[in-house]
Chain A
Amino acid sequence: MTATDIRASSETLLTVEAPKKAANMGQVVRWLILFLGGIVMIMPIVYMLSTSLKWPHEVYNVNLWPKEPTIENYTFVLEDGRFYGWMINSTVIALITTASNLFFDSLVGYTLCKFRFPGRYIVFIAILSTLMIPTEMLVIPWYLMSQQFGWLDSYWGIMFPGLMTAFGTFLMKQFFETVPDDFIEAARIDGLNELQIWWTVAMPLVRPALAALAIFVFLGNWTAFIWPLIVTNSVEMYTLPVGLSSFGDEADVQWELIMTGAAISTIPTLVFFLVFQRFIIRGVVMAGLKG
């Protein structure tokens, strides 16, 4: 082997090594950023759990681990009869609004996406434009409506503004755009009516979107605060967030109890998320098309 050959091969080695190191550095930076992001996300939860294990006098002490950890708060909250009622209220309301949103949002989204009718665009814009109005502004008209209909302090009153959402309709419409018309036309030729096509052909193809929407709506209603606070009067009708906030009054906020309730109330949302995230599988739609 000549000298030139050796140099050539060592150069080759160098060029192979260099980008690898750069890639490693990039990887380290990337992991570091993700790690910091993770810390930021998890700290409130850690504090929530830690506070729920503290005695009242230790609450304003920012140590992560309580000096005298206690499960007294949990016993108190769980023995307080009101908590179960709020939990049931929240569960019923979140489940019904979720089901209602999945049904109506996708029905309207499908219609706006796959049917051509006069005024379609105007209807779509009208629905979208409601997204620009903040909840705070809607609360008073909602309240007046509830009052007139006699819905104050009832499930129906808490649920009605959220039974169908503009966001969900928009989301579903966009997802139905990814369902090729060929599927729908094939089903039409196969003799299905429009409602059957929507239910048996289009809906299964947007299952990932439905799962995402279910998670959004469930979490949104589970954590909703302002509207349930305004529309409910009796303690029995409170939802969890409203009920938890009642653990405090103007003089004294019982953070340890609020955090305990919050910690318990995250469990259903976790379960809900774990169930539905399995359905968020991408690429389902494309499998039936060209290969």
Chain B
Amino acid sequence: MSTVTLRNLGKSFGKTQVLKDIDLQIEDGEFVVLVGPSGCGKSTTLRIIAGLEEATTGTVEIAGRVVNNLEPKDRDIAMVFQNYAIYPHMTVRKNIGFGLRTARMTRAEKDERIEEVARILDMTDLLARKPSQLSGGQRQRVAIGRAMVRDPAVFLFDEPLSNLDAQLRTQMRLEIKKLHQRVESTIIFVTHDQVEAMTMADRIVIMKDGVIQQVGTPSDVYHKPANTFVAGFIGAPSMNMLPGTGSSDGILLKSGVNFTGGPAGTEGRSVLLGVRPEDLTPNGAATLVEGRVTVREPLGHETLIYVDTGAGEVIAKADGRHPPAVGETIRLSALPQNVHIFDAATGQALT
């Protein structure tokens, strides 16, 4: 059992509180991604789990035992760093085998283990090389190999892909995901890239200012964002937020359009109506957005269009082949089930 449980975790550097009341239960074999903008506390959380930082309050449990007072090496974890941190003065073989130095194994067993890891990562012929003779992707693989060789209960990844170029990042993303399916270990992965989070995670933990905003599957956080921050952070381009006021028969938007639907009990309250660019379609039944197209951004399979509604700009996705022309006035509507209503004051979802 390689569960990880964070209870009431808090961290302060002097007077600055960087983590507040983090409660999180990670199941055995789960791939959990911590995501958020820089300074949200995601790396600090990971470093506390690793034992590189001490928690100010709360407890960390790995496989059912509280590890707060254990050294990193006694926590049965392995970590892959953003800068890879593979030792430049050692060969790939030594780097991978480094974590086995203190293991109680015979030399032959260690060698066998190293070869096995190298086979899984497809780098058997690179074992004799030094890091300076490897490409960025290969170095990253050595770093992963060094973590794998110890067969830890939990893998920790601290933004391991952010130094790679876009193409390699996509490739490594896939490789890490395949690796997870193969070794079935618990993985906690930190990133600031919401695409990485969406594509890799079983569950996503979205953080901001040291507080967990939402925990859920990629589908959950995308389709049922808990608040305006999650709604804006997940998905590119971001969800449109149309300000309005609740009324007896729906929501009266600032642009003058009335949206019928939405939750009850919003009368007189300021709300935000959120709708994703791809959920805005032309020529629907009830018009939600009406305005002039100001900018077009062709992406090939689709075109992003920026619509000036008079009460703010709205982004919509249009067909790639026949997008509306700049200057054209268009009407867009959305299905009621694709519309999210948020409290304008607290940002919390009301739907």
- Residues of A near B101 (CB, < 8 A) are 190-192
- Which of A188, A207, A289 counts the most chain B CB atoms within 10 A? A289
Cross-chain pair count, CB within 8 angstroms: 82
- Which secondary structure dominates chain A's binding surface? helix
Which of A187, A207, A290 is within 8 Å of B83, CB to CB?
A290
- Give the total of B residues in contact with A, Cβ under 8 Å: 32
- Residues of A near B167 (CB, < 8 A) are none
A288 near B50 (CB under 8 angstroms)?
Answer: no
Closest B residue, CB atoms, query A201? B87
Contact with A along B79-116 (1 / 0, CB 8 A): 10111111111000000001101100000000000000
A290 near B132 (CB under 8 angstroms)?
Answer: no
Complex: A190 Cα to B79 Cα, angstroms? 9
- Given known A-B contacts A182-B82, A287-B132, A188 and B87 have beta carbons under 8 A apart: no
Closest B residue, CB atoms, query A191? B73
A188 near B73 (CB under 8 angstroms)?
Answer: yes
- Residues of A near B176 (CB, < 8 A) are none
B85 near A182 (CB under 8 angstroms)?
Answer: yes
- Residues of B near A190 (CB, < 8 A) are 73, 98-99, 101-102, 146, 150
Closest B residue, CB atoms, query A284? B88
A180 near B102 (CB under 8 angstroms)?
Answer: no
Whether, in the assembled complex, B120 has its beta carbon less than 8 Å from a beta carbon of chain A, the answer is: no
Closest A residue, CB atoms, query B72? A189
Complex: A191 Cα to B70 Cα, angstroms? 12
Which of A201, A204, A290 is within 8 Å of B163, CB to CB?
A290
Complex: A189 Cα to B87 Cα, angstroms? 14
Complex: A286 Cα to B98 Cα, angstroms? 19
- Residues of A near B16 (CB, < 8 A) are none
Whether, in the assembled complex, A291 has its beta carbon less than 8 Å from a beta carbon of chain B, the answer is: yes
- Which of A185, A186, A204, A284 counts the most chain B CB atoms within 10 A? A186
Which of B51, B102, B131, B163 is within 8 Å of A288, CB to CB?
B131
A183 near B87 (CB under 8 angstroms)?
Answer: yes
Which of A284, A289, A290 is within 8 Å of B89, CB to CB?
A284
Complex: A160 Cα to B50 Cα, angstroms? 44
B81 near A285 (CB under 8 angstroms)?
Answer: no
Which of A187, A192, A287 is within 8 Å of B88, CB to CB?
A287
Would you list which residues of chain B between 117 and 162 have a CB under 8 Å from chain A?
A: 130-132, 134-136, 139, 146, 150
Complex: A287 Cα to B87 Cα, angstroms? 8
Which of A183, A191, A290 is within 8 Å of B102, CB to CB?
A191
Closest A residue, CB atoms, query B82? A182
B131 near A287 (CB under 8 angstroms)?
Answer: yes
Would you list which residues of chain B between 43 and 84 have a CB under 8 Å from chain A?
A: 50-52, 71-73, 77-79, 81-84
In the A-B complex, the 6 residue pairs with the smallest Cβ-Cβ separation, listed nearest first, are A191-B73, A288-B88, A287-B132, A291-B136, A290-B163, A182-B85
